């Protein structure tokens, strides 16, 4: 439920209501708007009546949260959330690009990629160490060795690292080496894993399942937040449709819907949706244009030799070109891209989108 405080309610009145709800076992979040303060509360709604919160000083009214997902909804928290990854803000004005290989394959490969994507303006490094492969005979990742190489790449470049965790028993070891725990599309509804990362002290990147609805995706996010972890980033990576021309169908509409329904930051993964490097640029630009807070892109120094997802990986040169285009687009949308990506003359993209506020929506707009 949402407790709407009266206009001009005092801090003391807000505190008393929040304390009463917390003592009764509700999870709470306070949103201080220009005119009113809202207190989002999640718990057993039968309790609300017995608490008679509506009768408390400074309370205007109590309204139920209508969506099945509670803490991740904009009803609960109208203002957008910003998740900080070692100081890099995801979900703010800056558009954040995460780049790196599908899998960590060797020291040379991950270090060369990390240096190049950093120089091009990427803010975080990606790389899989535990790989959820469709075939048991495909390369399964370097596992612990891969985690160590990612940590080494972070030491050298300063880029925080994002890597997938595929099993609840691996959450501790992955969290010890990585900065963001990625939940892959194939595990979006692995509730034991969601609960486990919900107890971790690292931000989580939750990919949408390839056959999941937006509501199921947000319910999966709710598991993580309900377990205690509010540092959560959503990622649209394409869904299964009848169309085989791309590997998956990038569901841009879902990005618009999810950012309307939820305060969580949302990224787009153009690589897994495209399945082929040729379409990655167009989908990346479309992702930014629809309002994503950033992108996660597969990049490999020699895609033709990659042990996984080579066909959809950009080589270093193509990634550099894409970053210059994205920088112009971000600027046209009133946002920024990492400082290193500022390319001279990139302002030409200003014609792409004019008029209206295309940046992150404030409160429940968008
Ligand atoms: C990946 O990021 O390499 C990956 C396996 O992604 P997804 O879970 O979206 O398929
Ligand atoms: Mn991949």
Predicted confidence band of residue 354 (pLDDT cuts 50, 70, 90):
very low
Calculate the average pLDDT of the chain: 92
Q: Cβ distance 97 to 121 under 8 Å?
A: yes
Region of poorest pLDDT, from 181-185, 251-255, 268-272, 354-358: 354-358
Q: Is the pLDDT of residue 363 over 70?
A: no
Give per-residue pLDDT as tens, 240-283.
Answer: 999 999 999 999 999 999 999 999 999 999 999 999 999 999 99
The better pLDDT of the pair 186, 346 is held by 186
Region of poorest pLDDT, from 14-23, 41-50, 172-181, 191-200: 41-50
Section 203-228 average pLDDT: 98
- Which of 159, 102, 98 lies closest to 128, judged by CA? 102
HSE toward the beta carbon, residue 151, CA cutoff 13 A: 12
Q: What DSSP element (H or E) covers 180?
A: strand 180-183
CA 272 to centroid of ligand 1, rounded, Å: 7
Q: Is 247 in the pocket of ligand 1 (CB under 6 A)?
A: no
Per-residue burial over 3-39, b if 16 or more Cβ lie within 10 Å, else e, is bbbeeebeeebbeebbebbeeeebbbbbbeeeeebbb
Q: How far apart are CA 203 and CA 183, in angstroms?
A: 11
Predicted confidence band of residue 344 (pLDDT cuts 50, 70, 90):
very low
Give per-residue pLDDT as tens, 89-106.
Answer: 999 999 999 999 999 999
Q: Is 360 in the pocket of ligand 1 (CB under 6 A)?
A: no
- The pLDDT, as a whole number, for residue 360 is 52
- The pLDDT, as a whole number, for residue 345 is 42
Q: How far apart are CA 164 and CA 100, in angstroms?
A: 13
Q: Is the pLDDT of residue 38 over 90?
A: yes
Q: Ligand 1, atom 10: nearest CA belongs to which residue?
A: 185
CA 21 to centroid of ligand 1, rounded, Å: 40
- The pLDDT, as a whole number, for residue 351 is 32
Q: Which of 128, 207, 250 to mutate to test the pocket of ligand 1 (most atoms within 8 A of CB)?
A: 207
Taken in order of first residue, the domains within the chain and their CATH numbers are: 2-63 (3.30.70.1140), 83-358 (3.20.20.70)
Give per-residue pLDDT as tens, 142-155.
Answer: 999 999 999 999 99
- The pLDDT, as a whole number, for residue 47 is 72
Residue % of the chain over a pLDDT of 90? 87
Q: How far apart are CA 77 and CA 2, in angstroms?
A: 9
Q: Which of 130, 182, 184, 220 to mutate to test the pocket of ligand 1 (most atoms within 8 A of CB)?
A: 184
Least distant ligand from the CA of 164 = 1
């Amino acid at each position: 439920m949402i407790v709407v405080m009266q206009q001009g309610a005092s801090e003391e009145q807000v505190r008393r209501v929040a304390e009463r709800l917390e003592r009764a076992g509700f999870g709470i979040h306070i949103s201080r708007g220009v005119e009113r303060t809202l207190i989002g509360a999640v718990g057993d709604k039968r309790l609300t009546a017995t608490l008679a919160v509506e009768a408390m000083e400074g309370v205007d009214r109590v309204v139920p949260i209508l969506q099945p997902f509670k803490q991740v909804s904009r009803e609960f928290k109208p203002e957008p959330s910003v998740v900080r990854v070692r100081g890099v803000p995801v979900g703010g004005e800056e558009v954040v690009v995460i780049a790196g290989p599908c899998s960590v394959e060797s020291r040379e490969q991950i270090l060369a990629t990390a240096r190049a994507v950093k120089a091009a303006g990427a803010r975080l490094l990606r790389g899989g160490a535990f790989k959820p492969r469709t075939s048991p005979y495909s390369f399964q990742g370097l596992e612990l060795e891969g985690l160590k190489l990612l940590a080494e790449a972070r030491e050298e470049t300063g880029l925080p690292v994002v890597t997938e965790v595929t099993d609840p028993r691996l959450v501790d070891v992955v969290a010890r080496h990585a900065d963001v725990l990625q939940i892959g599309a194939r595990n979006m509804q692995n509730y034991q894993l969601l609960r486990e990362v919900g107890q971790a002290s690292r931000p989580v990147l939750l990919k949408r399942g390839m056959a999941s609805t937006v509501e199921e995706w947000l319910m999966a996010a709710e598991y993580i937040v309900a377990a205690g972890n509010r540092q959560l980033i959503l990622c649209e990576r394409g869904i299964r449709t009848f169309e085989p021309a791309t590997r998956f169908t990038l569901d841009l509409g879902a990005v618009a819907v999810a950012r309307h329904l939820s305060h969580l930051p949302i990224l787009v993964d153009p690589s897994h949706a495209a399945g082929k490097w040729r379409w990655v640029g167009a989908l990346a630009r479309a992702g930014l244009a629809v309002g994503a807070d950033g992108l996660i892109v597969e990049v490999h120094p020699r895609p033709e030799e990659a042990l996984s997802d080579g066909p959809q990986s950009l080589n270093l040169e193509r990634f550099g070109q894409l970053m210059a285009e994205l920088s112009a687009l971000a600027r046209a949308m009133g946002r920024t891209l990492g400082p290193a990506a500022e390319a001279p003359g990139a302002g030409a993209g200003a014609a792409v989108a004019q008029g209206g506020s295309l940046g992150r929506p404030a409160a429940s707009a968008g």
